[in-house]
Amino acid sequence: MITKEFNVNEVMCSGFLMGAKGRINQDNLMILQTFVNTHLAFTPARVILKELVDSEISDTFVHVGLRVNDNEGLLERMITGLICYGESKFEDKALAKSWIDAQINKMTAREMIILLEKAIIDAASSDYYYEIEETHEL
């Protein structure tokens, strides 16, 4: 039996893959989607981002723009991070998919929050680049 440890702190959310939602089990998609929508209904992503910046968890240039305020985009970034993480653990994509599906089923609320925070930071970094740097000649 193959056992690989899951460490949410090693997951890197960076952009998103086309069709990422189709690469995980639909029940798991609903779990993550419900989590994102519920969590962000109580605490908007811009508030979470401010807390991350204030606590110095995020040390990148960030901006609250379209990407930060897009729940579906944040969900895609989370799934992409999980897919890339799983594929870094296993060469076989089918095995990586099965492993990630199993990890989603076992994720704690804290792990989901960490993953969402990583997606928010990535989205805010993209917003900074595309909405601040791109509009101002350096």
pLDDT digits (tens, 9 = 90+) for 6-17: 999 999 998 777
Q: What is the structure's pLDDT at 6?
A: 94
**Contact assessment for residue 110 and residue 42, using Cβ atoms and an 8 Å cutoff:** no
Residue range 75-103, pLDDT digits in tens: 999 999 999 999 999 989 899 999 999 99
Residues 6+ apart with CB under 8 A from 7: none
Nearest to 64 by CA among 43, 49, 78, 42: 49
Q: Distance between CA atoms of 135 and 122, rounded to whole angstroms?
A: 19
Averaged pLDDT of the chain: 89
